[in-house]
Chains A and B, each alone.
Chain A
Amino acid sequence: MAKDDLGMATEDRRQTLEASPTIKVNGEQLVLLPAGAAYWPVKETLIVSDMHFEKGSSYAVDGVMLPPYDTRSTLRRLTAIVDELTPKTIISLGDAFHDRGAEKRMNADDVSALSDLTKRAHWVWIAGNHDPAPPDHFSGETTPSMRLEGLFFTHEPESEPEPGEIAGHLHPCARVATGHHFTRRRCFATDGNRLIMPSFGTYTGGLNVLDAGFEGLFDQLTAWVMGRRGVYGFSRRKLMPDSPPVLRAGFARSG
């Protein structure tokens, strides 16, 4: 059985969807995939966020030579999902490209892999802060934000959100106790009114959902944590701040 980077088994579509939890955001049903994307079955729409293509090569300019395979790895994982689910629409929630020069730095193989994906579904490129302009070489619709039925797609979560907001930008991570140690993973963060997507790019790190950056965004936060084979929900009280507990202004550890 083939496995991708995050250890997600490429079983058939039905199995994948069954292994993935379905949640409701503003009344719309979404399936949270262990690979870090969300699927909207009634619209046959796949949602990914913060792919940050060519983040690795952006450091090379400064002499930091990271393995130049992050775009490749991100695309492989995305292709595996598209192979399984054959979505009609793919919404990229912004920051698909790490910077303006990213498209130019892409390897030819990666360019053709992405072009191929853009031909297999209708793409919506939501603008992000890293990629405010539409891509030069890849087709699809480009927009700063978009409403579709009960959902509103945008890059940065708003302080006064539209109902059903689906956003990215913050790269949420959760830290939970697992037996005698702790596990820190990317996660989907939601309270039923809005959903903040995990970052999909291979080299994207994350921000703990208990960090100040998430303050005031949720009423009753649930973090859906990406496991190797499934996505697991944790309520607010089960979540841990990043170690060590830090006494900083405005952020004291409770209990």
Chain B
Amino acid sequence: MSGLPAKFDDWFKDRGWAPREHQLDCLKAAQEGKSHLLIAPTGGGKTLAGFLPPLIDLFENGSGRGVHTLYISPLKALAVDIARNVSAPVDEMGLGLNIETRTGDTPMARRQRQKTNPPDILLTTPEQVSLLLSHGDSADYFSGLKTIILDELHAIGNTKRGHLLALGIARLRKLAPDLRLTGLSATVPDPQTLIDYLTPQGTDAEEAVLIRAAGGAKANVKVLNSENRIPWSGHSARHAWDEVYEEIKEAGLTLVFVNTRSQAELTFQALWRLNEDNLAIALHHGSLDVAQRRKVEAAMSRGDLRAVVCTSTLDLGIDWGDVDLVIQIGAPKGASRLTQRIGRANHRMNEPSRALMVPDNRFSVLECLAAKDAISEGALDGEPWRLGALDVLVQHIMAVACANPFDSDELYREVISASPYKTLDRPTFDRAIDFVSTGGYALRAYDRFKRIVQDQDGRYRVRNGRVAQQFRMNAGTIVEASSLNIRLSSKRGPKRPGRKLGTMEEWYFEGMEVGDTFMFAGEVLRFEGITGADVMVSRAPGEEPRIPTWGGGRFPLSSYLADRVRRMVHDPDYWPHLPDPIREWLELQRDRSVIPKADELLVETFPNGDRHFLVCYPFDGILAHQTLGTLITRRLERAGAQPLGFVATEYSLSVWSRKDMGEVDMAALFDEDMLGDDLESWLANSYLMKRTFRNVAVIAGLIERRYPGQEKTGRQVTFSSDLIFDVLREHEPNHLLLQAAWSDASGGYLDLSRLSDLLARVRGRIRHQHLDRVSPLAVPVMLEINKDPVIGEAREAMLEESADMSSDVVEALVAEAMRP
């Protein structure tokens, strides 16, 4: 009845299952030789939908030559989990297939074996695909490849790893002309970008087919209306901890999502302090040791846990059990991300997911309501589709050259068939080849040291085996901050390494003194020092952690949600839907200052203490606000206002100065021309730009990857990429790598595209209100100032709140704002 071979049909029947419609649709598309994109919510049987066609093909036609199916996942842990999940039906049906994983952790011997004896199904990551393609025998190895399954395509397509993978796929299509792609994705606002990703561009190839799984029941989403007073600022949501605990008590397995690792630690501790019933509550975040995370996941699967406090580490991946309730603490930041998280409670597709959002402060109430509305409308926020990164392109060109000689015309056609690179022009491609060959400098200093050289017939090949070897050691597109292992000191002495608790970025320990305490893996630890790549710690139960928290894991508010929040604030007709304290707060703002019209940007200036303040409310996310803050501070400096600093939040920006800014020409201050010279001169010394450049230089292979604890030997390049950046900016400002770094910074750390949209949006629409004191709307950002005294670069590290706010500061500011 299903059109499945009897063996498969029986397997379903034995389990009391029937293949789902979208699984059969995928099979039909595959059997017609069509690539396809499956969009299904979590729990929709996506993995099986992807693997069913190749399993049937292997069953009916037998193993072929080399690898038959390549499964590619953004997470190496996911590749391992999926291998286990796929092996189950394969064993149960007795298909006798060879299934292997290959990740960065796979031992050398097994990799060798995979080469000489290719498995039928290989589960791996984008980096490994690129590495496999850099070997001369890859043409043979992949010649029999029939299927590529791309899991979590929505999470990877629009990243540098996605770019690397797109180029790898373009290559694989050349090596295996029969190749068919299956993309698996969560719901996305614009599936066409993913369809393009699966379809060779600029050819007459048929477009990948879109298959949608029937939507599950609508989620049941609530925003917590706390009995307690919602704080003006901060992210701990401590006012609601007892209410969160009560929800956990009432529910089965609850996932408690928070936005940062430090919030995870804090929430975990808080819940355990309240945990009189001794509920099994666990912790899961990216810094914890893998073994520890595995343990938590296994306990979830067994149904042994009542709650897991987690970060984005549980956003992706397989289902680990029957999740009954999802709690999101703090602002959700984006509708798509929240949808994905809520989907975690959707293990049975036809039951509604239950989710509770817990706002951490006043603005976040608005953001939670906006997200709730978006979800009930099924609206999602997309991020702009990025063009293929040039540093990734040069890495790919090098990989191709390491494998076999290539013809540049052919390679160009192949590269532009990958959707991220479809608009790449030929001169830029030629510059990329020149970069790979000689560094691409106008001063032709290295022409005699070329890394790739042209044969008599014009084909490029790598100069020698050493160059190829060097490339393979350094390939990859993720440049992670150097991480150190956190280890308990063994009893034999503080410098003897004991059990590993997890890893943390190296910079976190900068300036830490022996004896300092911090919170990690749910306990308070004392810093004992560093040996090689190991941070030695001892347990310090009962001590107050002195070192505040660490950054990372912060996403800016999506433009889609930002827009909704802005409309809520600007539109008094919406206010009756708001909780009382929030409505009253906005009404007070209307009385004391002004509520701007839709599309207007409110800028307030007022004195407070012995300083003068300028506060504006663009609602465009913290990254764009930081860049804006840097640029208008420079302008205010030139205008003689003597600015002293600024602080940005997701919603607003506050600048303070010695002089009154009431007379400043706001239209001129917010003019779009700040994105010209001011930006340029700031970037010259910007820490963010240098960090961006370092990543680009590593990906492009200009400087080597650094591993902590690994001593430099011989002629390795040890000097910093900052020097290279300065020299290039001065002597060759149009160099390919500067172009690549600029494009990264615009979309990433600096969020220039959003800042530029903001400035265009408010042109001619600035509403300046000069006040004699702080306005109600300004209170949240004003409270951030006291926590965060540092201007500019160091602030990044201090973005995390330190949990305790001195309450007299809050009271004084609020009293000032409320004073009749």
B495 touches A66 (CB 8 A): no
B702 touches A244 (CB 8 A): no
Choose one: A60, A180, A243, A253; the contact of B446 (CB below 8 Å). Answer: A60
The interface stretch among B2-10, B570-578, B715-723 is B715-723
Choose one: A67, A72, A181; the contact of B794 (CB below 8 Å). Answer: A181
Highest count of chain A CB atoms <10 Å: which of B435, B726, B789: B726
Choose one: B495, B507, B726; the contact of A247 (CB below 8 Å). Answer: B495
- Is the C-beta of A179 less than 8 angstroms from some C-beta in chain B? yes
A203 touches B495 (CB 8 A): no
Choose one: A60, A67, A182; the contact of B724 (CB below 8 Å). Answer: A67
CB nearest to A248 among chain B residues: B531
- Is the C-beta of B730 less than 8 angstroms from some C-beta in chain A? yes
Whole-angstrom CA separation of A21 from B553 in the bound complex: 45
Known: A63-B449, A66-B724, A73-B731. A244 touches B514 (CB 8 A): no
The interface stretch among B78-86, B121-129, B437-445, B606-614 is B437-445
Whole-angstrom CA separation of A97 from B804 in the bound complex: 57
A247 touches B529 (CB 8 A): yes
Whole-angstrom CA separation of A244 from B708 in the bound complex: 11
Choose one: B451, B463, B514, B790; the contact of A245 (CB below 8 Å). Answer: B514
B727 touches A69 (CB 8 A): yes
B732 touches A243 (CB 8 A): no
B732 touches A59 (CB 8 A): no
Q: What is the CB-to-nearest-CB distance from B683 to chain A, in angstroms, rounded to a whole number? A: 15
Highest count of chain B CB atoms <10 Å: which of A65, A177, A205: A65
Q: What is the CB-to-nearest-CB distance from A213 to chain B, in angstroms, rounded to a whole number? A: 14
- Is the C-beta of B467 less than 8 angstroms from some C-beta in chain A? yes
List residues of B (516-537) whose CB comes within 8 Å of A's CBs.
529-531, 535-536
B445 touches A63 (CB 8 A): no
Known: A247-B530, A248-B531. A65 touches B726 (CB 8 A): no
Q: Which chain B residues lie closer than 8 Å to A61 at the CB level?
A: 449
A203 touches B446 (CB 8 A): no
List residues of A (105-154) whose CB comes within 8 Å of B's CBs.
105, 107
- Is the C-beta of B16 less than 8 angstroms from some C-beta in chain A? no
Highest count of chain B CB atoms <10 Å: which of A67, A205, A243, A246: A67
List residues of A (60-81) whose CB comes within 8 Å of B's CBs.
60-70, 72-73
Choose one: A59, A68, A105, A244; the contact of B717 (CB below 8 Å). Answer: A59
| Residue tally, chain A, CB below 8 Å to B | 36
Whole-angstrom CA separation of A179 from B795 in the bound complex: 12
List residues of A (199-220) whose CB comes within 8 Å of B's CBs.
202-205
B719 touches A65 (CB 8 A): no
List residues of B (522-559) whose CB comes within 8 Å of A's CBs.
529-531, 535-536
Choose one: A73, A105, A244, A247; the contact of B727 (CB below 8 Å). Answer: A73
Q: Which chain B residues lie closer than 8 Å to A57 at the CB level?
A: 445-446
Whole-angstrom CA separation of A68 from B446 in the bound complex: 8
B495 touches A67 (CB 8 A): no
- Is the C-beta of B511 less than 8 angstroms from some C-beta in chain A? yes
Whole-angstrom CA separation of A244 from B735 in the bound complex: 34
- Is the C-beta of A18 less than 8 angstroms from some C-beta in chain B? no
B438 touches A65 (CB 8 A): yes
Choose one: A66, A72, A181, A204; the contact of B702 (CB below 8 Å). Answer: A66
Whole-angstrom CA separation of A5 from B722 in the bound complex: 12
CB nearest to B528 among chain A residues: A247
Q: What is the CB-to-nearest-CB distance from A111 to chain B, in angstroms, rounded to a whole number? A: 13
| Residue tally, chain B, CB below 8 Å to A | 50
B727 touches A70 (CB 8 A): yes
A179 touches B463 (CB 8 A): no
Choose one: B445, B727, B728, B794; the contact of A179 (CB below 8 Å). Answer: B794
List residues of A (231-255) whose CB comes within 8 Å of B's CBs.
243-248, 252-253, 255
Q: What is the CB-to-nearest-CB distance from B667 to chain A, in angstroms, rounded to a whole number? A: 30
CB nearest to B715 among chain A residues: A62
Q: Which chain A residues lie closer than 8 Å to B467 at the CB level?
A: 63
CB nearest to A206 among chain B residues: B719
Whole-angstrom CA separation of A57 from B727 in the bound complex: 14
Q: What is the CB-to-nearest-CB distance from B714 to chain A, in angstroms, rounded to a whole number? A: 10
Choose one: B510, B514, B798; the contact of A253 (CB below 8 Å). Answer: B514
Q: What is the CB-to-nearest-CB distance from B483 to chain A, in angstroms, rounded to a whole number? A: 12
Q: What is the CB-to-nearest-CB distance from B204 to chain A, in angstroms, rounded to a whole number? A: 39
A60 touches B445 (CB 8 A): yes
Q: What is the CB-to-nearest-CB distance from B528 to chain A, in angstroms, rounded to a whole number? A: 8
CB nearest to B451 among chain A residues: A63
Q: Which chain B residues lie closer than 8 Å to A69 at the CB level?
A: 441, 443, 727-728, 730-732
A68 touches B470 (CB 8 A): no
Q: What is the CB-to-nearest-CB distance from B434 to chain A, in angstroms, rounded to a whole number? A: 10
- Is the C-beta of B270 less than 8 angstroms from some C-beta in chain A? no
Q: Which chain B residues lie closer than 8 Å to A5 at the CB level?
A: 726-727, 730
CB nearest to A71 among chain B residues: B445
Known: A63-B467, A179-B794. A244 touches B509 (CB 8 A): yes
Q: Which chain B residues lie closer than 8 Å to A246 at the CB level?
A: 529-531
CB nearest to A57 among chain B residues: B445
Q: What is the CB-to-nearest-CB distance from B22 to chain A, in angstroms, rounded to a whole number? A: 49
Q: Which chain B residues lie closer than 8 Å to A205 at the CB level?
A: 718-720, 723
Q: Which chain A residues lie closer than 8 Å to B805 at the CB level?
A: none
Q: Which chain A residues lie closer than 8 Å to B530 at the CB level?
A: 244-247
Q: What is the CB-to-nearest-CB distance from A228 to chain B, in angstroms, rounded to a whole number? A: 9
Known: A60-B449, A205-B720. A243 touches B509 (CB 8 A): yes
Q: Which chain B residues lie closer than 8 Å to A244 at the CB level?
A: 484, 506, 509-510, 512, 530, 535
Q: What is the CB-to-nearest-CB distance from B185 to chain A, in angstroms, rounded to a whole number? A: 39
B514 touches A68 (CB 8 A): no
B715 touches A68 (CB 8 A): no
Whole-angstrom CA separation of A252 from B717 in the bound complex: 27
Q: What is the CB-to-nearest-CB distance from A92 to chain B, in angstroms, rounded to a whole number? A: 21
Known: A5-B730, A244-B506. A66 touches B529 (CB 8 A): no
B529 touches A253 (CB 8 A): yes
Whole-angstrom CA separation of A57 from B451 in the bound complex: 14
B723 touches A202 (CB 8 A): yes
A65 touches B529 (CB 8 A): no
Choose one: B495, B535, B715, B723; the contact of A59 (CB below 8 Å). Answer: B715
B443 touches A245 (CB 8 A): no
A203 touches B510 (CB 8 A): no
Q: Which chain A residues lie closer than 8 Å to B443 at the CB level?
A: 68-69, 107
Q: What is the CB-to-nearest-CB distance from B587 to chain A, in angstroms, rounded to a whole number? A: 39
CB nearest to A178 among chain B residues: B794
Whole-angstrom CA separation of A234 from B381 in the bound complex: 52
Whole-angstrom CA separation of A177 from B510 in the bound complex: 11
Q: Which chain B residues lie closer than 8 Å to A105 at the CB level?
A: 445
Known: A179-B790, A203-B719. A68 touches B439 (CB 8 A): yes
Q: Which chain A residues lie closer than 8 Å to B451 at the CB level?
A: 63, 65
For B452-479 the 0/1 string (1 means CB < 8 A from A) is 0000000000010011001000000000
A64 touches B730 (CB 8 A): no
Choose one: B529, B719, B731, B794; the contact of A204 (CB below 8 Å). Answer: B719
Known: A59-B717, A203-B723, A246-B530. A67 touches B449 (CB 8 A): no
Q: What is the CB-to-nearest-CB distance from A168 to chain B, in angstroms, rounded to a whole number? A: 17
Highest count of chain A CB atoms <10 Å: which of B440, B484, B529: B529
CB nearest to A205 among chain B residues: B719
Q: Which chain B residues lie closer than 8 Å to A203 at the CB level?
A: 719, 723, 727
Known: A65-B702, A66-B702. A182 touches B511 (CB 8 A): yes
CB pairs A–B below 8 angstroms (24 shown): A57-B445, A57-B446, A59-B717, A60-B446, A60-B449, A63-B463, A63-B470, A64-B702, A65-B435, A65-B438, A65-B451, A67-B439, A67-B724, A67-B727, A67-B731, A72-B731, A180-B790, A181-B790, A244-B512, A244-B530, A245-B512, A245-B530, A247-B495, A255-B513
A sample of 13 more A-B contacts (CB under 8 A), given A5-B727, A181-B511, is A64-B717, A65-B441, A66-B717, A67-B727, A67-B732, A69-B731, A72-B731, A73-B730, A179-B794, A182-B510, A243-B509, A244-B506, A247-B529
Interfacial residues, chain A to chain B (CB-CB below 8 A): 5, 57, 59-70, 72-73, 105, 107, 177, 179-182, 202-205, 243-248, 252-253, 255
3 nearest A-B pairs in the assembled complex, by CB-CB distance: A65-B439, A68-B445, A69-B731
